[in-house]
Amino acid sequence: MEFDLIARHFTRATPGAVLGVGDDCALVSPTPGKQLAITTDLLIEGRHFMPQDGPAGLGHKTAAVNLSDLAAMGATPRWATLQIALPATNDAWLAAYARGLFRMLDAHGCELVGGDTTRADVLTFGLTVFGEIEPGCALTRGGAKPGDDVWVSGLIGSAALALAYRQGRLFMEQIHAAKVLPALYLPTPRVELGQALVGLASAAIDVSDGLCADLGHILTRSGVGADLDFAAIPVHEIAHDYLHEPAAIEAILAGGDDYELCFTAPAQQRTAIEAAAQSLGVRVSRIGATRDTPGLVVRNAHGEAIPLARTGYDHFAA
The residues of the shown chain that bind its own copies, judged by CB under 8 A, are 1-2, 5, 18-19, 22-30, 32-42, 44, 46-48, 69-70, 72-73, 75, 79, 81, 83, 85, 88-89, 113-122, 124, 126, 128, 130-131, 133, 135, 138, 140-142, 204-206, 221, 314-316
Those residues whose C-beta lies under 8 Å from the C-beta of residue 155, and which sit 6 or more positions away, are 183, 234, 235, 236, 258, 260, 283
d(CA 313, CA 213): 8
Q: Which is closer to its own copies, CB of 119 or CB of 240?
A: 119
Q: How far is the CB of 106 from its own copies (least distance, A)?
A: 19
Q: Which is closer to its own copies, CB of 136 or CB of 281?
A: 136
Q: How far is the CB of 272 from its own copies (least distance, A)?
A: 22
49-68 as b/e, with b when 16 or more CB fall inside 10 Å?
beeebebbbbbbbbbbbbbb
Q: Which is closer to its own copies, CB of 23 or CB of 237?
A: 23
Q: How far is the CB of 13 from its own copies (least distance, A)?
A: 16
Q: How far is the CB of 243 from its own copies (least distance, A)?
A: 29
What's the distance, CA 5 to chain centroid? 29
Q: Which is closer to its own copies, CB of 47 or CB of 240?
A: 47
Helix axes 174-185, 158-166, angle to 10 degrees: 120
Q: Which is closer to its own copies, CB of 89 or CB of 285?
A: 89
**φ, ψ for residue 193 (rounded to 5)?**
-60, -45
